[in-house]
Amino acid sequence: MLKIMTRPALFEPWLQFKHPIVRQLAFSIASPNILAQIPNELNLKNEFTIHDDQTWQTLYQQYEPRLKQLDQQPQPLLDFLARLKSTRLGLRFENLLWFWLLDDSYHPYQLLGHSIQKISGAITLGEIDFLVLNQQTQEVEHWEVALKYYLGESELSLSQWFGLNREDTLHRKLKHFTERQFQFSEANNIQIQRKFAVMKGQLFLPSSQDELTLPTWVNASRRLGQWGTHIPELAYYRLLRQEWLCPNQLASSSAADWWTDGLYYNTTAEPSFYMFRQPSLLFKRY
């Protein structure tokens, strides 16, 4: 089985909080991007960048006092998320960041717009997730946010990272960023000066391969998961769908006796994530 190096210095402050939604909010802010850099293999039509790890750590540290308040009194966060009718994790992640951006006493950003539709006549050209003014640089930034879970295969080249729906690949998502989502130079009559992809979630390495060289663009400063079609020996339990953002402080189920497709978690020694997939689903066309 593939062994993932234990890194004692991993920055995972969300694990200190008790309330599940506060843990998810802390993860949404503090977690590094799944990419360390834009892959060289990507043909950039419209340039964009990503925030480095230190930026997210600093933003988390500025917000930590507020998170501790919310952990004791989470009702404002619960009320905000109650307006979200969809169960999609990506939208939950976006709304958690929206809550944080509105809480502007704790960070340098002024939110100028959210979900801004770009329309030409009867045609919708696209939508901008967040338009923010960085009050430290005085630059207007366009943020596109995504919560993604990709399983690496073969030699881990850019085209060999697949979502649970195999039509959703990392390469396809990044191509969509540069060709479609970051095509705009202004929004609400405001010029855009910088463009950022906020891409969090988790990458999973195949447990069936012992030696793999990580591409330089994979962010190895964060916890990587494993995926496989066999049942591992450790006592994993299956995470609830919302726990894919961050596992609850207390186990939400017993150790799994019956395994179905999904994300599993183990804390016996070092916290570890395992994505179980039925072999018949790997090459299914959706």
pTM reported for the whole predicted model: 0.93
Look at residue 3 and tell me if it is in a domain.
Answer: no
CA distances from 168 to 47, 111, 230 (A): 22, 30, 23
Residue 4 counted as domain residue:
no
Burial of 156 (0-12, 13-18, 19+ CB in 10 A): middle
Q: What is the pLDDT of residue 280?
A: 66
Q: What is the DSSP letter of 191?
A: E
Q: Above 60 in pLDDT, residue 2?
A: no
Assigned domain for 286 exists: no
Classify residue 5 by burial, with Cβ atoms within 10 Å: 0-12, 13-18, 19+. Answer: exposed
Q: List, for residues 186-225, the tens digit of each pLDDT value.
A: 999 999 999 999 999 999 999 987 778 999 999 999 999 9
pLDDT band at 282 (very low <50, low <70, confident <90, very high): low
167 assigned to some structural domain: yes
Total structural domains within the chain:
1
Amino acid identity, residue 110?
Q
Residue 43: give the domain boundaries. Answer: 13-281
First CA to last CA distance, the chain: 29
Is residue 28 within 8 Å of 175, Cβ to Cβ? no
Burial class (CB in 10 A: 0-12, 13-18, 19+), 160: middle
CA angle 113, 115, 116 (to 5 degrees): 65
Predicted local distance difference test score (pLDDT) of residue 191: 98
What are the pLDDT digits (tens) for 67-120?
999 999 999 999 999 999 999 999 999 999 999 999 999 999 999 999 999 988
Would 2 be classed as within a structural domain? Answer: no
- pLDDT greater at residue 11 or residue 283: 11
Q: Using CA atoms, how far apart are residues 279 and 282, in angstroms rounded to an integer?
A: 6
What pLDDT is recorded for position 152?
A: 97
pLDDT for residue 212: 85
Answer whether residue 6 is part of any domain.
no
Beta strands 225-228; 272-276: pairing state: parallel
Q: Considering the domain boundaries, does residue 225 fall inside one?
A: yes
Q: Tell me: the pLDDT tens digits for 253-274?
A: 999 999 999 999 998 878 899 9
pLDDT of residue 284: 44
Is the pLDDT assigned to residue 3 strictly greater than 80? no
Q: How far is CA 129 from CA 133, 182, 198, in A?
A: 14, 11, 10
For the segment 12-56, what is each residue's pLDDT rounded down to a tens digit?
Answer: 999 999 999 999 999 999 999 999 999 999 999 999 999 999 999
Residue whose C-alpha is closest to residue 192's, from 183, 179, 202, 201:
183
- Predicted local confidence at residue 199, as pLDDT: 98
pLDDT of residue 239: 98
Q: How far apart are CA 212 and CA 51, in angstroms?
A: 26
The rounded distance, in Å, linking the Cα atoms of 253 and 260 is 14
Pick the closest to residue 107 from 154, 146, 143 (CA basis): 143
Q: What is the pLDDT of residues 155-176, one digit of tens each?
A: 999 999 999 999 999 999 999 9
Confidence band for 8, pLDDT divided at 50, 70 and 90 = low
Residue 97 lies in a domain: yes
Strands (E), the chain: 109-120, 123-134, 139-152, 161-162, 186-187, 190-191, 194-206, 225-228, 237-238, 262-266, 272-276
1/7 Cα distance (integer angstroms): 18
Q: How far apart are CA 140 and CA 133, in angstroms?
A: 4
